[in-house]
Structure 1
C-alpha cells in the first residue's frame, strides 16, 4: 500500500479573532474563530464530533460547515461552499489587509550613534 503525499492548501489561512455561535444538531455553543480562509476555519472554545455538520452564525450570516477534526476545546471545519461574500468574508478581507501593513520602526531613528546610553565613542 502506498501513501499519497499531502496536498498543499488551496487557500491561505489568516489569523483572526472572531466571536461566533456554532449550531450543532442538538446544541449551540459560543466559540472564537482564530484561523480563517475561504475554505475553512479553526474554532476555539467549541467542539463537535468529527464528520458532523454545523452552522456558524456571525453578524446575521449563516455559514455551513463540516467538522474535519475535533479536540476537547477546539475544532477544524471545512466549508462546503467557499466564502465569497458576506460579513465573515469581509472580516477575512479586513484581517488580510491589516496583516499586509508593515510595522514601522519607531525607535531606531531616535537612537544616538555611539557606545552606551550617552553615545560615547
Structure 2
C-alpha cells in the first residue's frame, strides 16, 4: 500500500482527496514538526476508508479504529491514556451508529458504561 503525507494531497469541495490529480487510494500520514508520524488514515478512491491510527509523541498508540466511506466510524474504536492504559472504547455497528461506550480513568477503573439500542 502506498503512503503519502497530507501535504502531498489536494482536497476537493466534495470531500475527496487527490494525489497527482487522481482520487487517492492508500495511507496518508500526518507528521509532527520533527517528521515523526503521529497519525495514519486510510483512503480508498479519494475517501476516508479503512484503518485510522494516532500516536502520542513518544510512539505509544493513542487512537485506533476503522472508517467506512458513507458510514463514518464502524466497529470498535479505542483511545488510550498517555500511560498506555485504555481510556475509552466506542462500539459502532456496521452502519456507523454508536452502540456502546466504556470509559476508564488513568488507573484503569471503569468510570462509565453505556449501551444504546437506539443511537443517541
TM range (shorter): under 0.3
Larger relative strand fraction: 2
* TM-score calculated relative to the size of structure 1: 0.25
Tell which has more relative contact order, 1 or 2 (C-alpha 8 A, sep 6+).
Answer: 1
* TM-score calculated relative to the size of structure 2: 0.25
Larger radius of gyration: 1
